[in-house]
Amino acid sequence: MDVMAVASEAQEIGGVAGWAVEMMESLGGFGAGVAIAAENLFPPIPSEVVLPLAGFAAARGDMTVVEAITWTTAGSVVGAVLLYLVGVAFGRDRLYRLAERIPLFSADDLAKSEDWFHRHGTKAVLFGRMVPVVRSLVSVPAGLQRMPIGRFVALTAVGSAVWNTLLILAGYHLGVRWEIVSDWLSRYQLVAFSAVGVAVAVWLFRRIRARST
């Protein structure tokens, strides 16, 4: 099974996946890094496809495993830093003004969120890199809270390296059966999204009940 066959298969999954495969096919490890940087900025780009395929490409000899891990981790950091800068540019004052306009939300809720991030921000940035969507969104509050950029980059690099290495090595060892990784990660994402959905539903229920009493 060659890379073009894999590309065709990825395009059947979705056009964005096909684009990511084409990037790796034409640019090698650097292309994988670009695709992962884009995945941070646009979560619909499927890292569960890009990373195992990078491992498969390494198994074929199109790049080394070290190159795949290094470039994708660098891409993760670049994408995360860009979102961090979005948080810095947006600023806390503007965020508080926005919070006052959001139904069922208030500045007190935002203050509590800030307090939580002050206490747990390090763990959120580190482990958030291993949770779908969260790995993108967590960079924004880090920027809003002006987490020291050196710490942010270090935490992002470590968390991303662990996540990327696991998926790349899985793709490397599975070879043409790399889709198995995507299947398992789809289930993992479903569980993560369900947990977030339940948490949001519980928060909304409590807030509506508090407003009605």
Q: For residue 1, what pLDDT is reported?
A: 40
Residue 141: pLDDT band by 50, 70, 90 thresholds? confident
Across 29-34, average pLDDT: 87
Structural contact between residues 154 and 160, judged by C-beta atoms closer than 8 angstroms: no
182-193 pLDDT, tens digit each: 666 666 666 666
Residue 114 token pair: 């800030």
**91 DSSP assignment:** -
Sequence-separated (6 or more) residues with CB below 8 Å from residue 31 = 22, 23, 24, 25
Across 44-56, average pLDDT: 77
Structural contact between residues 36 and 72, judged by C-beta atoms closer than 8 angstroms: yes
Across 127-149, average pLDDT: 83
Taking 60 as the threshold, does the pLDDT of residue 35 lie above it?
Answer: yes
Calpha distance 72→76 (Å, rounded): 6
Residue 213: pLDDT band by 50, 70, 90 thresholds? low
201-212 pLDDT, tens digit each: 665 566 566 666
Calpha distance 20→38 (Å, rounded): 9
CA dihedral for 150, 120, 161, 182, sign (positive or negative): negative
Calpha distance 117→197 (Å, rounded): 20
Location of structure tokens 């660098």 = 74
pLDDT above 90 covers a percentage of the chain that reads: 18
For residue 127, which phi and psi values (nearest 5 degrees)? -85, -20
Q: Number of C-alpha atoms within 13 angstroms, CB side, residue 187? A: 5
Taking 50 as the threshold, does the pLDDT of residue 116 lie above it?
Answer: yes
Location of structure tokens 């807030």 = 207
Taking 70 as the threshold, does the pLDDT of residue 38 lie above it?
Answer: yes
Question: What does the mean pLDDT of the chain come to?
Answer: 76
Q: Give the highest mean pLDDT range of 4-18, 20-34, 163-177.
A: 163-177
Q: Where are the domains of the chain?
A: 3-212
Calpha distance 48→55 (Å, rounded): 11
155-170 pLDDT, tens digit each: 999 999 999 999 899 8
Residue 116 token pair: 């939580």
The crossing angle, in degrees rounded to 10, of helices 47-60 and 65-90 is 150
Q: For residue 182, what pLDDT is reported?
A: 66
Q: For residue 29, what pLDDT is reported?
A: 83
Structural contact between residues 199 and 206, judged by C-beta atoms closer than 8 angstroms: no
Q: For residue 13, what pLDDT is reported?
A: 46
